[in-house]
């Protein structure tokens, strides 16, 4: 098994005296782990930071084996947010969530492009939290648990969609949902359209919405809570 691909670093940990095991999201080959010889060196460490954008050359004898790889930087990665602690927390959280949600060695080109779009959005403080929520919704869709926000699950109407059913993950219109409002999830309008407007209240709705389905479909089956870094990110975004 051998390939070259563009990738974003999700995590890296020391391995042995000089090496590192890196986890990356590649454009065409999904999420993979690989051993980087010399990964603990001063020269390599900057390229193994979360969200570093790299070109990876990967090789393994079998698909089940931990392969080896070499990497070269493609650009400055997330360095543009190093002076923004909230955005930096967002970058780290995106890496943690990507690694937690996507299984290894399955191609998810949509998730890769969503990650890339999110990294670019971090340069715009006013909008990146909304793009982050869209990114989490995209992770759910990538693994088969996407939200269906095209029409009301009850009436088929496409207008005035303000709720999401926790059972079906489908949108529900205002009139159809009023009798069950206390059992439904709020639907932030920015998830429906770029023309939906942005508000701080929608951020809470968005984090609650994606968090509900991430917990149900990804973390609860593994008997794990949502990552603590996500809670810290939500608190930091609210305070800022």
The Cα 159–Cα 127 span in angstroms is 25
* C-alpha span between 236 and 231 (Å, rounded): 9
Taking the complete model, does pTM exceed 0.85, yes or no? Answer: yes
Give the model's pLDDT for residue 64: 76
Contacts of 28 (CB under 8 A, 6+ apart): 3, 5, 107, 109
The pair of three-digit structure tokens given for residue 53, joined into one six-digit string: 């954008």
Distance CA 25, CA 103 (A): 11
Q: What backbone phi and psi angles, to 5 degrees, belong to 4? A: -120, 145
Q: Residue-wise pLDDT tens for the chain (240 aa)? A: 899 999 999 999 999 888 999 999 999 999 999 999 998 888 888 899 999 999 999 999 887 788 999 999 998 766 677 789 999 999 999 999 999 999 999 999 999 999 999 999 998 999 999 999 999 999 999 999 999 999 999 999 999 999 999 999 999 999 999 999 999 999 999 999 866 677 779 999 999 999 999 999 999 999 999 999 999 999 999 998
How far is residue 18 CA from its own chain's centroid? 30
Give 3-state DSSP helix, strand, coil % of the chain, rounded to 5.
40, 25, 35
3-state secondary structure of 24: strand
Q: How many CA atoms lie within 13 A of 150 on its CB side?
A: 2
């Amino acid at each position: 098994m051998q390939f070259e691909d563009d990738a974003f670093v999700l995590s890296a940990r020391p391995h042995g005296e000089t090496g590192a095991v890196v986890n990356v999201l590649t454009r065409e080959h999904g999420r993979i782990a690989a051993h980087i010889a010399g990964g603990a060196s001063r020269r390599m460490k900057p390229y193994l930071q979360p969200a570093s954008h790299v070109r990876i050359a990967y090789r393994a004898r079998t698909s089940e084996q931990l392969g080896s790889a070499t990497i070269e930087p493609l650009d400055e990665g997330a360095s543009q947010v190093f002076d923004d602690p909230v955005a930096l927390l967002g970058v780290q959280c995106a890496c943690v969530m990507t690694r937690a949600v996507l299984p290894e060695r399955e191609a998810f080109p949509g998730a890769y492009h969503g990650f890339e779009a999110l990294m670019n959005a971090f340069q715009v403080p006013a909008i990146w939290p909304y793009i982050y929520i869209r990114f989490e919704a995209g992770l759910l869709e990538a693994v088969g648990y996407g939200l269906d926000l095209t029409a009301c699950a009850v009436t088929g109407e496409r207008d005035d969609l303000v709720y999401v059913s926790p059972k079906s993950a489908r949108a529900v219109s205002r009139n159809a949902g009023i009798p069950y409002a206390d059992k439904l999830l709020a639907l932030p309008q920015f998830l429906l359209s770029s023309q939906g407007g942005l508000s701080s209240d929608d951020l809470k709705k968005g984090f609650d919405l994606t968090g509900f389905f991430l917990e149900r479909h990804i973390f609860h089956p593994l008997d794990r809570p949502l990552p603590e870094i996500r809670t810290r990110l939500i608190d930091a975004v609210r305070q800022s």
